[in-house]
Amino acid sequence: MDSVGDVDIQRISFDSKTYDTDSVAVESPLSINVEFRGDSYSVGILMRTPGDDEELVIGFLFGEGIITEKKHVTEILIDDNCCKVKISHESFFDPLEHVRKTSVSSACGICGRDSINNLLRLQNVGMKNGHIYSLKTIIDSVNTLRSSQNIFSVTGGSHAAAMMSPRGTLRIISEDVGRHNAVDKLVGKCISNGMHDPGENFLVVSGRASFELVMKSIRFGFPLMVAVGAPSSLAIDMAIEHGMTLVGFVKEENASVYSFPGRISIS
């Protein structure tokens, strides 16, 4: 299934109406069912842009705290919009904690959770403290992200998440209609390639820095997260709690640093 589709539209102005076609980012459901110790559980329905579905599932399971490495997933079967995942006994699946009550929309990564208590304080997460990132690197990384968004360049309707090297070189990029899906796909690609933490690489996201995106970023261990838009108050609190540098409102010559500014240099 393609990530981009064409639709018939009518373009209107005050003095004309014309018929045309337009390209849009595809959004469709992906139900995820986990098989654990012989039993099957539904952990949600993701509204996503098709493409990199296996990586999306792996990243989603990692972000939920169900797995911590690829070996915890023994099999993934995807048929159309249904995914069945077999996970090992060594995984951290807890039906009471991880089974969703509702679907997960493309706008919300924690929908359907009965409690967010376990989300507010992540365990065993350590941030790298050694590298200093220049303001120029941060600004350039946002420009690199924008120029690398293939789906957005066609549709104007997708979000992106990218892992950048400490010098701002693009390492990996993922796109999706959902901001959290884009991050899950990115993390899933990393884990699938045997990368269990980002080292000094940092995360750049195309929209605002919501709580759920900061949570996913921290869980994987990114020392720095850069957002084009604004952060939320809870996102800032979580970044401060876990020692991650959070940067938002990146412009051509300036940016706002909301936590741990010691990692950022203006020289």
Q: What is the pTM of this model?
A: 0.91
Instruction: State the catalytic residue, choosing from 82, 108, 111, 190.
Output: 108
User: pLDDT grade, residue 126 (50/70/90)?
Assistant: low
Average pLDDT over residues 28-48: 95
Name which residue leads in pLDDT, 105 or 40: 40
User: pLDDT grade, residue 127 (50/70/90)?
Assistant: confident
Q: Please report how many Cα atoms fall inside a 13 Å half-sphere around the Cα of residue 112, on the Cβ side.
A: 19
User: pLDDT grade, residue 107 (50/70/90)?
Assistant: low
Average pLDDT over residues 109-129: 58
Q: What is the pLDDT of residue 110?
A: 56
Residue 133 has pLDDT above 90, yes or no: yes
The DSSP bridge partners found for residue 21 are 8
Chain segment 73-87, per-residue pLDDT in tens? 999 999 989 999 999
Name which residue leads in pLDDT, 30 or 108: 30
The identity of residue 226, as a single letter, is: V
Q: What is the pLDDT of residue 80?
A: 87
Q: Which CATH architecture has domain 133-265?
A: 3-Layer(aba) Sandwich (3.40)
Tell me if residue 194 falls in helix, strand or coil: coil
Q: What is the pLDDT of residue 115?
A: 47
User: pLDDT grade, residue 120 (50/70/90)?
Assistant: low
Q: Which two tokens stand for residue 249?
A: 């409102």
Tell me, which fold does domain 28-120 have in CATH?
Ubiquitin-like (UB roll) (3.10.20)
d(CA 27, CA 32) in angstroms, rounded, equals 16
Cβ-contact 260, 238 below 8 angstroms: no
Angle at CA of residue 176, ends 66 and 25, nearest 5° = 145
Residue 38, C-beta contacts closer than 8 angstroms, at least 6 positions apart: none
Domain locations along the chain: 28-120, 133-265
Whether 108 is a known active-site residue: answer: yes
Q: What is the pLDDT of residue 191?
A: 97
Q: Is the dihedral of CA 103, 109, 115, 118 positive or negative?
A: positive
The share of the chain scoring above pLDDT 90, in percent, equals: 85
User: pLDDT grade, residue 106 (50/70/90)?
Assistant: low
- How does DSSP classify residue 232? P
Whose CA is closest to 218, among 99, 110, 124, 141? 124
Pairing between strand 264-265 and 133-134? parallel
Average pLDDT over residues 211-224: 95
Average pLDDT over residues 222-239: 96
